[in-house]
Amino acid sequence: EIVLTQSPGTLSLSPGERASLSCRASQSVSSDFLTWYQQRPGQAPRLLIYGAARRATGIPDRFSGSGSGTDFALTISRLEPEDFAVYFCLHNGGSLWTFGQGTKVEI
C-alpha cells in the first residue's frame, strides 16, 4: 500500500508570498494518478490539480502542480486571502485510493 507523506505540516506565510507544498510517495507512482485538493474550514475538499500538473476547471493559474516518481509539489505563486486552507494530495491506485495527511497554509 502506498503511503503519501505531506510536508510541512503547517506553512505560515503572508498574502502575496509563494507557497511550496510537498507530497512524497512511499514508492514510485504514475503522475497520471496524483491529485491535489483544497479544503477551507467547514467545507468539503475542492479539486485543484489532477494528473499531477493539470489545473481543474476554474482553478486560478497561481496554482501549479509538478513532480514525478515519488516527489510531487503544489505551488501557489502569490497567496490570496482565500488560499489559506488545508491542502491534500491523493493517489489513485486503481482499486485503492490514498490521501496524504495534509498541509495547512496559515497566515
Residues that bind another protein (CB under 8 A): 32-33, 35, 37, 43-47, 50-51, 54, 56, 88, 90, 92, 95-102
| CA dist., res. 41 & res. 63, Å (int) | 19
C-beta of 46 vs 62, nearer to another protein: 46
We find the least distance from the C-beta atom of residue 29 to another protein, in angstroms, to be 14
Nearer to another protein, 21 or 35 (CB): 35
Q: How far is the CB of 35 from another protein (least distance, A)?
A: 5
CA distance 65 to 19: 12
Identify which of residues 25 and 35 has a Cβ nearer to another protein in the complex. 35
How far does the chain reach from its first CA to its final CA, in angstroms?
34
Contacts of 2 (CB under 8 A, 6+ apart): 25, 26, 27, 29, 91, 93, 98
